Structure formats: structure tokens, C-alpha cells
Amino acid sequence: MISAEQPTRVQGSGYELHYVGTQRDTIMNGKLTAAIDLRSLASRPNLYGIGPIEQLRGEVTIIDSRPSLARMRSDGSIQVTKDFETGAPFLVWAEVPAWHTMPIPTEVRSFTDVEAFVPRAAAMVGLDPQRPLPFLIHGREQLVEFHILNRIGDEPHNAEKHKKIQVRFEMKQAEAIIVGFHSSSHRGVFTAMDSSIHMHFQTPDNSASDHIQILELGSDTRLSLPLSA
């Protein structure tokens, strides 16, 4: 079982990936305090990262060093602050100086389609699909269903309560930049126990950003993978 009490570094071809904390410990064991202070990453160039805000009071998304901290307002609307002023109980991030971009085939439309396509595409461009890797998806998506964690109070946390604190939204026919991380060997670490990918998005104006649950890609979408060194 992989543990990540201290940041772990993975050197890929054309990128450097790190992770700290685990989704499993956060959801199952209630480890909600910050394993990392995001301010320690603020000066890093070419930065991409995702995870929850400490105490599960929102979501962290970083795309090309542009941060988004998405939280719920008391009126039920989404508030996005564009800074690094928080911590995360688990986080995966990568520094990627250059990307290789390709069109996504029309038969790749759903979340599970993307999960299967990313490692195939990685192998095609000379990356090792068995290693953890970041990716981007650009385009106008048919549907993005997403959630923001909104834990209120300080009661002990567990898997049952985790589902109850997910506030769900959807966007249709929306431009989005999606950042994701793929690994077949890090389930429960920085991906869910039942998936090999974890994806967040930002809108182009950074007015919304959150954790993706259901995805239907548009007809003209592109996948970016690290440009192999």
C-alpha cells in the first residue's frame, strides 16, 4: 500500500510529478488537516495540480501556475479565489514546461473513454503509460458534472459523510480547460479507489473550477501530454 506522508517525487520524460497525502486517508480515516501549504508552490513555473482544500471545504485546481480555490458561499453559489492561500490534505502536482497536443478521436467521449485513451496516447508519443502522468484536455464540452466539497462543522469524517458534503453542479456546452492525472498504481492515493484518473477543470476566465465526476466531450477537443524529453 502506497503511503505519502512526505512528498513523493516521480521523474517522467518531460515532466516532474509530486504527490503528498492520500485520498484514502482523507476520506476513510478522516485526515483532513493540511499535508502541504500551497504557498510553498506559488513561485513554481509551469505548475499543474489538483486536490481538496484542507478540512474539505472546497477544491484546489492549478493550471499553468494559475490557481483556483473553489468554495461554496452561504447562498449556494460558487466562490473562486485566485490565490494559493490554503493547504490541502492530499495533492498531486506536476511541472510541465512543454506539451504535445493531439486531437481526441470522436469515439472518445466519456470519463471512462478518457481513462482508457490517455495511456494509449501516452505510449504513442513516447511516454511510459505505467508511470503517473499529467494531462490536459481543451475544448467545448457537451457536459461537465462536477462537485465542490463543502464540509460544515468539525465532526469526524468518513466515507459515508464524504458523499453528503459533495455539492453538485453541471455545465453544458461550456469551454473548459481540464487538468488530470493518470496512474493505474495510485488508486486511493491521488485518484479514486475505482478509477485511474482524477480530473478538475477551470473555465477560461477562471470563474469556475471544480472536481469532475461525469464528462461528455465535445466534438472538437484536444489532449495534451508532456512533451517527451
Cβ(118)–Cβ(222) under 8 Å?
A: no
Side-chain-side CA neighbours of residue 200 (13 Å): 29
Nine cell digits for residue 219: 466534438
Asked if residue 218 and residue 134 are part of one domain, the reply reads yes
pLDDT at position 4: 58
Asked if residue 113 and residue 80 are part of one domain, the reply reads no
Give per-residue pLDDT as tens, 8-26. 999 999 999 999 999 999 9
Query: Rounded distance, CA 27 to CA 6, Å?
Result: 18
Average pLDDT over residues 208-227: 96
Cβ(58)–Cβ(72) under 8 Å?
A: yes
Give per-residue pLDDT as tens, 123-175. 999 999 999 999 999 999 999 999 999 999 999 999 999 999 999 999 999 99
Q: How many residues does the chain have?
A: 229
* DSSP conformation class of 191: B
Say whether pLDDT at 47 is over 70: yes
Number of folded domains that form the chain: 2
Query: Rounded distance, CA 169 to CA 147, Å?
Result: 6
**CATH no. for residue 87?**
3.30.1330.80
Range of the domain at 177: 99-226
Asked if residue 112 and residue 172 are part of one domain, the reply reads yes
Say whether pLDDT at 65 is over 80: yes
Whole-prediction pTM = 0.95
pLDDT at position 1: 43
Nine cell digits for residue 95: 511541472
Asked if residue 80 and residue 107 are part of one domain, the reply reads no
